[in-house]
Amino acid sequence: METLDIKGTFRWPSANVLSGRGFLCRLDAKALNYRHAFHAGNFADLVKHAALLELLARLGVSPGPLTVIDTHAGRGLYDLTGPEAQRSGEAEAGVGRLTAAADAPDVFDGLTQAVRALNPDGELRRYPGSPWLIARALRRGDRYLACELRADEHKALQAVLRAAPSAQALCADGFRTATERTPRDGRALVLIDPPFERADDYRRIVETAAAVLDRNPAAHLMVWLPLKDLATFDAFAGDFGEAVGPAQVFETRLRPLTDPMKMNGCALVLLGVPQGMAGVLEAVCGWTATTLGERGEARVYGV
Ligand code: SAM
């Protein structure tokens, strides 16, 4: 396992690291095959991370501390020169094209600045995961719980968050952590980004979102989902609307959803979208679908 060294590239002002319950990592990791290193920096990460940074920036202008729970954090920082990224080529087709583009909307600026900060000599070697981006966006008084079940990914996550103030790298089930630890009062943002390698991920998203809203009706929620075929996503959207309540859906379709064996696009489901943000997210999906897709399109609607 390689651990990227971020020392000397970026430092947070103070250290406060707490590790989670290691035995959970070892037990559950047996069933987890997914490695985000194959996909880091692909079109779906660009959509998710540009939207996440926009949401954090908008929430950051309001007073009062924010608690962020990242249910599926991953390792926090990805090596684009490693065998996984090289084999898949997804980063080259995603962040490689974004950083070379002259026409990307301004909403991508936060992400491209983060990528430049990690790659100061201009060569694309590293890509930030959600923990790296969130930790960098937190203000004094904010809190961040990052959950990761795989032992190797959790170890790397701890290293990335070692110098981040108020960040906890938990080796814990993210669905359960959001259900049990979303603050009942105050401002909260829950990011749910599972690997979808287990059949019950869709059901657990709905249950977790409902539990989060039950604990804190003002919580903001962002869920990332793959778009393969319409039937699967429509069934999820129906269940979500019924159990959780009205939400906004932002779809990025790279191509028509005709081959269910392919990831044909991705969707973000958001609750508590700040005023004026929907149009900006539409620009993220629109640029990604038309520039990186084949006959791609963006769709925005409510459930
Ligand atoms: N959110 C990350 C980002 O944007 O950089 C990517 C996360 S990746 C899609 C999903 C991660 O969730 C994997 O590293 C996997 O090991 C982890 N995982 C799977 N099931 C989990 C669970 N129930 N709780 C916490 N982590 C889990």
The 10s digit of each residue's pLDDT in 232-255 is 999 999 999 999 999 999 999 999
State the pLDDT at residue 165.
81
The preferred substitution site among 148, 153, 158, 222 for testing ligand 1, maximizing ligand atoms within 8 Å of CB, is: 148
- For the cut 60, the answer to whether the pLDDT of residue 9 exceeds it is no
Distance 159 CA to ligand 1 centre (A): 16
The 10s digit of each residue's pLDDT in 97-114 is 999 999 999 999 999 999
The 10s digit of each residue's pLDDT in 186-231 is 999 999 999 999 989 999 999 999 999 999 999 999 999 999 998 9
Distance 103 CA to ligand 1 centre (A): 31
Which residue has the CA at smallest separation from atom 23 of ligand 1?
Answer: 173
Answer whether 20 contacts ligand 1 (Cβ < 6 A).
no
State the pLDDT at residue 32.
82
Confidence category of residue 17, pLDDT binned at 50, 70, 90: very low
Ligand 1 nearest atom to the CA of residue 74, by list position: 14
Answer yes or no: is 122 within a domain. yes
Answer yes or no: is 7 within a domain. no
Mean pLDDT score, 276-296: 96
Answer yes or no: is 182 within a domain. yes
Confidence category of residue 143, pLDDT binned at 50, 70, 90: very high
Q: Worst-scoring range by mean pLDDT, 18-32, 80-94, 244-258? A: 18-32
Answer whether 73 contacts ligand 1 (Cβ < 6 A).
yes
Answer yes or no: is 28 within a domain. no
- β-bridge pairing 220-227 and 265-271: antiparallel
- For the cut 60, the answer to whether the pLDDT of residue 21 exceeds it is no
Cα of first residue to Cα of last residue in the chain, in angstroms, is 41
State the pLDDT at residue 89.
97
How many separate domains does the chain show? 1
Answer yes or no: is 29 within a domain. no
State the average pLDDT for the chain: 90
Residue 70 near residue 151 (C-beta atoms within 8 A): no
State the pLDDT at residue 295.
87
Write the CATH number for 104. Answer: 3.40.50.150
Answer whether 110 contacts ligand 1 (Cβ < 6 A).
no
Confidence category of residue 27, pLDDT binned at 50, 70, 90: very low
State the pLDDT at residue 154.
98
Range(s) of the domain holding residue 133: 35-302
State the pLDDT at residue 25.
59
Ligand 1 nearest atom to the CA of residue 71, by list position: 25
Answer yes or no: is 150 within a domain. yes
Answer yes or no: is 279 within a domain. yes
Mean pLDDT score, 79-88: 97
Answer whether 196 contacts ligand 1 (Cβ < 6 A).
no
